[in-house]
Amino acid sequence: MKNALMTAALACFLAMQFSCKSGEQKPRMNTFKEKYSYMIGLDVGNEFKRMKTEMDYNAFLWGVKDMVGSRSLLLTPAALDSVKMEFSAMMQQSPEGQAMQQQAKEIGDKNLKASEAFLAENKKKPGVVTTASGLQYLVLKKGSGAKPKTTDKVKVNYRGTLLDGNEFDSSFKRGTPAVFPLTGIIPGWTEGLLLMNVGSKYKLFVPSTLAYGPRPDGPGGPNSMLIFEVDLLGIEP
């Protein structure tokens, strides 16, 4: 939803002279700017059509211009938060919103069942350790360096895959190690990295409860477990 609204704002910014009022002069499609503005407008219009959301285009464009021009806003931050919550509730109660929630539930139930079955079998394999939280890990290489603390930043190379083997992220492919604080990542990563010495390589089997849980925007959708191969390269205080 947020992406759709941001895309809409971008579209109207690119076509600022097109005020969305009836009777406005039809664009000629002579310039590339006209063409890509029209293309984005079609995408935005399709999103609004799919959402079945009635828009006050004057208020909509005024909001775009206020933001782009750094003008004073017509609503306070508290009022905007209230509107966002009410709008989100409205969309969730719509037929389209309810259908999306039902679809997310079905996907989540399927992912959770598959994850539980995998973890139950995986913990029986040689070398696999299961912690009290449900995290499973396999030591691929044992390093001899220091262990990080929760207050540290770590430098790692990693590869993340879903249960079906599809890769969703990889610092190896990007060619640059990742650096991040241990407090700013999913719980399964934090727990796993605290077990590792610098120079170690672990394979982490992260249940959804230690990843993104029922959130639909996580890799693999709601209730997906994630598998990571992680090289701990260094610690930055």
Cα separation of 41 and 215, whole Å? 29
Residues 132, 204 within the same domain: yes
Instruction: Retrieve residue 198's tokens.
Output: 């610098």
Domain count, the chain: 2
Cα separation of 45 and 32, whole Å? 20
193: in domain: yes
Residues 83, 142 within the same domain: no
pLDDT digits (tens, 9 = 90+) for 134-147: 999 999 999 999 99
99: in domain: no
Instruction: Retrieve residue 127's tokens.
Output: 């070398």
- Which of 43, 52, 232, 77 is CA-nearest to residue 155? 232
β 153-161/226-236 pair status:
antiparallel
Question: What's the predicted TM-score (pTM) here?
Answer: 0.63
pLDDT digits (tens, 9 = 90+) for 53-96: 777 878 877 887 888 888 998 999 999 999 888 887 777 776 66
Residues 16, 72 within the same domain: yes
Residues 48, 139 within the same domain: no
Residues 188, 81 within the same domain: no
pLDDT digits (tens, 9 = 90+) for 16-28: 444 444 456 788 8
Residues 89, 125 within the same domain: no
227: in domain: yes
Range of the domain at 193: 121-236
Burial of residue 24, with CB atoms counted within 10 A of its CB: 0-12 exposed, 13-18 middle, 19 or more buried: exposed
Residues 129, 84 within the same domain: no
